[in-house]
């Protein structure tokens, strides 16, 4: 009887190969998840102990695991990060960004933050960090986008609102800036940055005082602004103006030296210009051939 029962059990397994395969896949997936989570906690522990290189290496190893490589975002924000691999990948990118930022590798930090936001764009804190890093890189349009997206996630997130007002003034988008100043003053009618930048905008473009009057009256704001000290006013304006100067410096064209031809162009005609350029091209070709011959002789 025992022998027959054993044969029957074996036969049952053979009769249901699909069920056996599913069970094996389930066990394999559980093992992959356990391995990935163990590696993540190892990297996290190294990060907590300020072992940056070791931690970054562990995070990169984690990204190469099968569980994370097969985890692809669906594109539907309503689904969230249901896949364990997506959750780990999202956290890993954020932690790698934090490690890079701590070592002042701002470009790399931005790359990892952007990878993270592609997986989940509903985290207001992540958008704020992207905006903050963008400010350090003087990428003001990106900073603006990040802070606006952060406010779309949470309209009451004050750091996003506060920084967005500075960025909008720096970008000279005064109308939008006044709109968000109004929103900020509705939350705090003594908000000094809003009061200072509002008056600065009106000073630069007086017509906006009248145009935006209805907006501020609609917000049921006090008629008299709260006074702001001269030193605080200067600090607030200097922050925005310094950002503007940095951006202008980055956008300024570098003066390229004039091209010096071996055969100067005597007449500004098509034939004379062509002869000068052909001569220059011939000289460059001979120099290149000479360098090539010298390298072969070596």
Q: How many Å apart are CA 250 and CA 137, to the nearest integer? A: 10
Task: List the chain pLDDT tens, one digit each, 298 residues.
Answer: 334 333 334 444 455 555 544 444 454 778 878 888 889 999 989 989 889 899 999 999 988 988 888 877 655 555 556 677 888 999 999 999 999 999 999 999 999 999 999 999 999 999 999 999 999 999 999 999 999 999 999 999 999 999 999 999 999 999 999 999 999 999 998 899 999 999 999 999 999 988 888 887 765 565 456 788 999 999 999 999 999 999 998 887 666 666 666 667 777 777 777 777 777 777 777 776 666 566 555 5
Nearest CA among 153, 126, 29 for reference residue 85: 29
Q: State how far the Cα of 271 lies from the Cα of 128, in Å rounded to an integer.
A: 59
Domains in the chain: boundaries: 32-122, 146-250
Residue among 158, 156, 181, 288 at smallest CA distance from 240: 181
Question: What is the number of alpha carbons within 13 Å of residue 209 lying toward its C-beta?
Answer: 9
The torsion angle over the Cα atoms of residues 155, 157, 160 and 163, rounded to 10 degrees, is 110
CATH tag for 32-122 (out of 1.10.3470.10, 1.25.40.10, 3.30.497.10, 3.40.50.2300): 1.25.40.10
């Amino acid at each position: 009887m025992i022998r027959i029962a054993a044969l029957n059990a074996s036969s049952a397994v053979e009769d249901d190969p699909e069920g056996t395969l599913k069970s094996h896949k389930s066990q394999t997936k559980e093992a992959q998840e356990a391995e990935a989570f163990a590696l993540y906690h190892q990297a996290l522990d190294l990060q907590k102990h300020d072992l940056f290189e070791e931690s970054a290496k562990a995070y990169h190893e984690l990204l190469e695991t099968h569980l994370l490589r097969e985890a692809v975002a669906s594109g539907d924000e309503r689904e969230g990060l249901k896949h364990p691999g997506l959750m780990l990948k999202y956290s890993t990118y954020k932690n790698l960004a934090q490690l890079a930022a701590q070592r002042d590798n701002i470009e790399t930090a931005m790359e990892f933050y952007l990878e993270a936001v592609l997986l989940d764009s509903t985290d207001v804190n992540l958008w704020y960090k992207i905006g903050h890093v963008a400010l350090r890189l003087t990428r003001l349009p990106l900073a603006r986008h990040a802070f606006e997206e952060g406010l779309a996630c949470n309209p009451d997130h004050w750091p996003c609102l506060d920084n967005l007002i500075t960025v909008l003034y720096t970008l000279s988008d005064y109308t939008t800036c006044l709109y968000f100043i109004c929103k900020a003053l509705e939350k705090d009618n003594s908000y000094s940055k809003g009061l200072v930048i509002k008056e600065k905008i009106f000073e630069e473009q007086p017509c906006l005082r009248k145009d935006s009057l209805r907006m501020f009256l609609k917000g049921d704001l006090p008629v008299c602004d709260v006074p702001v000290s001269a030193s605080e006013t200067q600090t607030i304006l200097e922050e925005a103006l310094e950002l503007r100067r940095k951006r202008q410096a980055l956008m300024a064209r570098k003066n390229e030296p004039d091209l010096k031809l071996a055969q100067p162009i005597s007449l500004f005609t098509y034939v004379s210009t062509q002869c000068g350029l052909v001569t220059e091209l011939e000289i460059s070709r001979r120099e290149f051939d000479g360098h090539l011959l010298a390298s072969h002789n070596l």
